[in-house]
């Protein structure tokens, strides 16, 4: 493996690089020879040590960088300087899955950890059955570890002599790929460190997103705190991630320079190995994803990023922390568990330079995050007396006191602006940080202030009036509650293209639809908070791995989760708030891609939906186009599936009840008597047999239906023609005709085309919406009026009926009296 070049000041041992000299080497040497060794101004507020001139450092002011020297001068588009690269494909895959960048196998560190855990779990299971197998597996694992260790030692050997190898594990993909720097010229104005520019090339991000453009100068070059709001999928992770990496890189270089000048003494002045950035996210999956994303951006840089989340082995996470990573990304619960237990790396916070709250508005909801409050209280505050709990007391006190002043706080979310009058304050830039705080952190202002946010915070709100991404098509289907299953099945079968996430509010609903869909032969993965972490990660991985995969999930994946190729989001149940709707829908239409969201709205959810629409200042939503001729077939299948589901549920309930009884009896050492009479036993057996026969029959019937493609009732197996064909069918026909055009079979252009076989052909929901959806005015007042009118009408009819009835009764009575 070729070592990546490091900046000149690190003087890597060149002897070790005994591979062939290529054109890229010349290019990389150019990088090495760049004078990235800035003498910084005396008033630089971010030098590592205050009061000494020993360590100059901090941020480069924009004028200090000689663009030409870094090859960062804004080139004319198209006049790029081309570098050779071997494997273009890898850029694409990197872009798809940041974790791939990091390791050779594509698995993230966390996933590897999980695999290890899994291996251990397997070993445990095996031990019960076969002791030999256990020993074998252990030996295998030992061998694997030994091999790994040897490889690491080899690599370390090749890095000997590099005192501060800023570029470690030099998996230099960039040098092997074809980069047209001109294509990336939009990044130049952000003046990122050359190593970060390389990461950007590697990731294939041609230009910074608007939130990155706005945040990087403020956060990385002006050292400001930032409150950032931008639509879902707009690249907020790197908007705070790149400034963190930029500053850590700059400081590493200053330390290295100081080493050159001061030798060992430098270590005393600028101690290494402390936590520099703490990033907190509301969910485990998001923490793991942010870790992967930052690792991808930090690839080739000597910065370690470690996730600390619940549901995984605490011991293993403590081991990871022993390696003293610079960046920790975690969820509040596990972080606080370790911090309150005195975990050294997490409590020595005097060198903390960044505190980040991702999805900040989620953190303050319903007082969920008491732990967050406790974590924030652990942070050294600018005005509080210095508390030093480090061994290196004297030096850390110096660093610590300054670190507090310069710690930057970043608060990000797509929906900050939705909350109360926060948007107005953001727009006016008049967010006032209050001094006195009550106990609860129930507003972003309080949270930010408590975290030590400075008054000159940069407030960047790039959300549009609707908050929703521009390329998201929102639509809905109005239906009865019991029709939701049928419409969901219809969407997945007729439109199932690309990845789809189906959101449920309750776990019961999630279980209900996943079991129905499974019976109907649709493979889905499920994810909810009550699942074991290992199963959650597996579900996520498998969903990621299937380009037409379907994930049925609760709101645990609503926020932040970034899976490319999610084309459709279905709201099986409406969310409780507009924020959650934005985040759920934001799993599609990410990073300038398009996508669509379909809400299944039952009668009692209409006004809730109308008020949702109102929150987005959107008056019209699209009605999702339905091809009703599919419905009879859909309902037939669904009816069979429901019957099967009912039998299976009853059976599993009985089994669960029986095993519970047996377990309870066993626990109190009772022998269960069989009280059933002979007759009852025979009846039970008969009943079971009958159920099994019925189940088989239903299953066969369903299988028969499922073996044919789902087709509309009016469908002709032979000809594609006729008036009255709906846009959806028309689209499907055209697509199919195109697929079946027998160019390869040598048939002439003029030959009449007959389609003898009709396969299931899907039209993406988005295409269907664009070609046939129609806008529906969603005026909450109008809907409420309509409903009121309907209620009045119903009441009047009822009264009229009653009046008529009374009249008839009186008439009958009179007649009766008259006849008497
Ligand atoms: N400059 C860029 N150019 C192209 N793609 C980018 C760029 N920066 C980030 N991305 C990609 O955009 C996607 C979304 O990024 P990210 O997850 O950071 O969005 P987000 O704004 O945090 O979304 P959410 O609000 O849902 O959490 C990711 O796949 C990321 O790799």
User: DSSP secondary-structure letter at 408?
Assistant: E
CA distances from 379 to 382, 408, 598 (A): 10, 12, 43
Question: What is the atom index within ligand 1 of the atom nearest the CA of 587?
Answer: 26
The closest residue, in CA terms, to atom 3 on ligand 1 is 205
Lookup result for tokens 């040897």 = 150
SS3 210: helix
- Hey, what are 37's tokens? 């060794």
Whole-number Å distance, alpha carbon 280 to ligand 1 midpoint, is 17
Q: Which numbered atom of ligand 1 lies nearest the CA of 293?
A: 31
pLDDT digits (tens, 9 = 90+) for 732-770: 667 666 666 555 444 444 444 444 334 345 678 888 888
Give the pLDDT confidence score for residue 345 in this predicted structure.
95
Residue identifier of the C-alpha nearest atom 8 of ligand 1? 235
Q: How far is the CA of 590 from the centre of ligand 1 (A)?
A: 7
Residue nearest to atom 2 of ligand 1 (CA): 205
| pLDDT score of 455 | 79
Task: Tell me the H-state helices in 298-369.
Answer: 314-322, 332-340, 344-347, 360-363
Whether residue 103 is predicted with pLDDT greater than 90 in this model: the reply is no
- Any idea of the CA torsion for 592, 598, 599, 601, to the nearest 10 degrees? 150
Q: What is the pLDDT of residues 74-97, one digit of tens each?
A: 333 333 344 444 444 333 334 333
Ligand 1 pocket test, pick from 185, 293, 591 with the greatest ligand atom count within 8 Å of Cβ, gives 591
What separation in Å is there between the alpha carbon of 413 and the centre of ligand 1?
Answer: 12
Backbone angles phi, psi at 626, to 5 degrees: -110, 140
How far, in Å, from the CA of 468 to the mean position of ligand 1? Answer: 15
The closest residue, in CA terms, to atom 22 on ligand 1 is 236
The yes-or-no verdict on residue 494 having pLDDT over 60 is: yes
CA nearest ligand 1 atom 30, residue: 235
| Closest listed residue to residue 463, CA positions, set 288, 232, 265 | 232
| Interval between CA 663 and ligand 1 midpoint (Å) | 50
> CB neighbours of 734 closer than 8 A, spacing ≥ 6?
none
Q: How far is the CA of 267 from the centre of ligand 1 (A)?
A: 37
Q: How far is the CA of 293 from the centre of ligand 1 (A)?
A: 9
ipTM of the complex, rounded to two decimals: 0.99
Give CA–CA dist 206/183, Å, rounded.
6
Q: Whose CA is nearest to atom 16 of ligand 1?
A: 235
The per-residue pLDDT for range 611-627, each reduced to its tens digit, is: 888 788 766 678 899 88
Nearest-angstrom CA–CA distance, 154 and 751:
68
Closest among 47, 360, 408, 62 to 219, alpha carbons compared: 408
Which of 143-157, 422-436, 438-452 is the least confident region?
Answer: 422-436
Atom of ligand 1 nearest to the CA of 95: 31
Indicate which residue's Cα is closest to atom 1 of ligand 1: 208
- 383 or 801, greater pLDDT: 801
Structure tokens at 394: 């004297």
Give the pLDDT band of residue 52 (cuts 50, 70, 90).
very low
Q: Which residues contact 458 (CB under 8 A, 6 or more apart)?
A: 215, 218, 219, 222, 224, 225, 226, 227
What's the CA-to-centroid distance between 264 and ligand 1, angstroms?
42
Cβ atoms of residues 772 and 625 within 8 Å: yes
**3-class secondary structure, 618:** coil
**pLDDT class of 696 with cuts at 50, 70, 90:** very high
**Span from the CA of 587 to the centroid of ligand 1 (angstroms):** 11
How many other C-beta atoms lie within 10 A of the C-beta of residue 531? Answer: 17
Question: What are the structure tokens assigned to 700, written together?
Answer: 């066969």
Q: Which ligand 1 atom sits nearest the alpha carbon of residue 564?
A: 29
In 3-state terms, the chain is what percent helix, strand and coil (to 5)? 55, 10, 40
**Position 197 pLDDT exceeds 90:** yes
Ligand 1 binding pocket mutation candidate from 216, 233, 242, 291 (most atoms within 8 A of CB): 233
Tell me the CA–centroid distance for residue 791 and ligand 1, in Å: 47
From residue 806, how far is each of 773, 795, 796, 802, 809 by CA, in Å?
Answer: 49, 16, 15, 6, 5
pLDDT, tens digit (0-9, with 9 covering 90-100), for 358-413: 988 888 776 556 888 889 989 987 544 434 444 443 444 444 444 445 799 999 98
List ligand 1's pocket residues with C-beta within 6 A.
205, 208-209, 212, 230, 232-238, 414, 560, 562, 586, 590-591
- Residue minimizing CA distance to atom 4 of ligand 1: 205
Please tell me the predicted confidence (pLDDT) of residue 769.
85
User: Ligand 1 pocket test: which of 235, 243, 461 has the largest number of ligand atoms within 8 Å of its C-beta?
Assistant: 235
What is the spatial distance between Cα 303 and Cα 246, in angstroms, rounded to a whole number? 11
Q: What does the alpha-carbon distance between residue 571 and residue 584 come to, in Å, rounded to a whole number?
A: 8
Q: In this structure, is the dihedral angle defined by the CA atoms of residues 252, 254, 255 and 256, taken in order, positive or negative?
A: positive
- Rounded to whole angstroms, how far apart are CA atoms 47 and 251? 8
Distance (angstroms) between ligand 1 centre and the Cα of 316 equals: 29
Ligand 1 centroid to Cα of residue 553, in Å, is: 21
Identify which of 370, 415, 373, 382 has the alpha carbon closest to the alpha carbon of residue 227.
Answer: 415
Pocket perturbation via mutation, ligand 1, pick of 281, 562, 569, 585 by most ligand atoms within 8 A of CB? 562
If you measure from the C-alpha of residue 729 to the centroid of ligand 1, how many angstroms do you get, rounded to a whole number? 36
């Amino acid at each position: 493996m070729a070592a990546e070049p490091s900046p000149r000041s690190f003087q890597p041992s060149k002897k070790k690089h005994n591979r062939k000299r290529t054109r890229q080497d010349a290019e990389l040497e150019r990088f090495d020879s760049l004078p990235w060794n800035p003498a910084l101004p005396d008033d630089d507020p971010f030098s590592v040590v205050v009061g000494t001139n020993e360590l100059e450092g901090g941020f480069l002011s924009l004028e200090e960088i000689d663009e030409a020297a870094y090859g960062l001068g804004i080139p004319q588009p198209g006049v790029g300087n081309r570098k050779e690269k071997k494997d273009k494909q890898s850029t694409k895959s990197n872009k798809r899955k940041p974790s791939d960048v990091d390791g050779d196998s594509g698995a993230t560190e966390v996933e590897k950890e999980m695999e290890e855990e899994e291996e251990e779990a397997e070993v445990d299971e095996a031990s019960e059955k076969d002791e030999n197998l256990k020993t074998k597996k252990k030996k295998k694992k030992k061998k694997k570890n030994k091999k790994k260790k040897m490889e690491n030692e080899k690599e370390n050997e090749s890095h000997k002599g590099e005192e501060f190898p800023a570029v470690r594990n030099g998996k230099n993909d960039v040098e092997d790929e074809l980069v047209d720097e001109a294509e990336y010229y939009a990044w130049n104005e952000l003046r990122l460190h050359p190593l970060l520019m390389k990461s950007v090339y590697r990731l294939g991000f041609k230009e910074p997103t608007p939130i990155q453009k706005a945040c990087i100068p403020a956060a990385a070059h002006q050292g400001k705190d930032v409150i950032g709001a931008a639509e879902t999928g707009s690249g907020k992770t790197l908007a705070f991630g790149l400034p963190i990496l930029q500053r850590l890189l700059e400081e590493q270089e200053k330390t290295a320079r100081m080493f050159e000048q001061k030798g060992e003494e430098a270590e005393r002045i600028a101690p290494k190995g402390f936590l520099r950035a703490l990033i907190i996210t509301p969910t485990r999956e998001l923490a793991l994803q942010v870790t992967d994303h930052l690792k991808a951006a930090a690839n080739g840089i000597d910065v370690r990023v470690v996730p600390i989340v619940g549901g995984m082995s605490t011991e293993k996470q403590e081991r990871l922390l022993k390696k003293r990573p610079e960046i920790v990304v975690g969820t509040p619960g596990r972080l606080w568990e370790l911090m309150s237990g005195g975990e050294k790396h997490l409590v020595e916070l005097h060198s903390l330079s960044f505190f980040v709250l991702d999805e900040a508005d989620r953190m303050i909801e319903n007082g969920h995050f008491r732990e967050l409050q406790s974590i924030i209280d652990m942070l050294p505050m600018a005005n509080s007396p210095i508390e030093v709990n480090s061994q290196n007391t004297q030096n850390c006190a110096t660093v610590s006191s300054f670190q507090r002043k310069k710690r930057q706080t970043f608060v990000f979310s797509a929906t900050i602006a939705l909350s109360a009058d926060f948007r107005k304050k953001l727009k006016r830039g008049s967010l006032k940080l209050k001094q006195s705080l009550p106990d609860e952190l129930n507003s972003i202002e309080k949270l930010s202030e408590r975290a030590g946010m400075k008054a000159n915070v940069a407030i960047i709100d790039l959300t549009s009036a609707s908050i929703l991404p521009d390329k998201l098509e929102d639509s809905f289907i109005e239906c009865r509650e019991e029709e939701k299953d049928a419409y969901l099945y219809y969407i997945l079968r007729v439109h199932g293209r690309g990845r789809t996430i189906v959101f449920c509010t309750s776990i019961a609903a999630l279980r209900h639809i996943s079991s129905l869909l499974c019976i109907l032969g649709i493979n889905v993965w499920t994810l909810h908070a009550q699942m074991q972490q290992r199963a959650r990660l597996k579900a996520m991985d498998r969903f990621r791995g299937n380009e037409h995969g379907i994930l049925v999930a609760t709101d645990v994946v609503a926020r932040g989760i970034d899976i490319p190729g999610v084309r459709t989001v279905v709201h099986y149940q409406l969310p409780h708030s507009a924020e959650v709707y934005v985040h759920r829908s934001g799993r599609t239409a990410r990073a300038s891609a398009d996508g669509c969201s379909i809400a299944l709205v039952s009668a009692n959810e209409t006004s809730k939906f109308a008020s949702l629409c109102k929150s987005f200042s959107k008056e019209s939503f699209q009605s999702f186009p339905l091809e009703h001729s599919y419905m009879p077939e859909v309902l037939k299948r669904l009816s069979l599936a429901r019957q099967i589901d009912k039998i299976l549920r009853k059976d599993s309930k009985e089994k669960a009840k029986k095993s519970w009884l047996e377990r309870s009896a066993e626990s109190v050492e009772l022998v269960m008597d069989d009280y059933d009479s002979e007759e009852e036993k025979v009846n039970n057996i008969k009943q079971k047999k009958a159920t099994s026969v019925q189940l088989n029959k239903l299953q066969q019937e369903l299988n028969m239906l499922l073996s044919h493609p789902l087709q509309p009732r009016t469908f002709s197996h032979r000809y594609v023609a006729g008036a009255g064909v709906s846009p959806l069918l028309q689209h499907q026909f055209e697509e199919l005709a195109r697929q079946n055009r027998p160019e390869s079979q040598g048939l002439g252009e003029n030959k009449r085309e007959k389609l003898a076989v009709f396969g299931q052909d899907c039209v993406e929901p988005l295409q269907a919406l664009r070609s046939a959806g129609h806008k529906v005015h969603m005026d909450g007042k109008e809907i409420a009026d309509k409903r009121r009118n309907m209620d009045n009408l119903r009441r009047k009819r009822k009264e009229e009926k009653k009046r008529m009835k009374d009249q008839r009764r009186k008439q009958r009575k009179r007649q009766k009296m008259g006849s008497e």
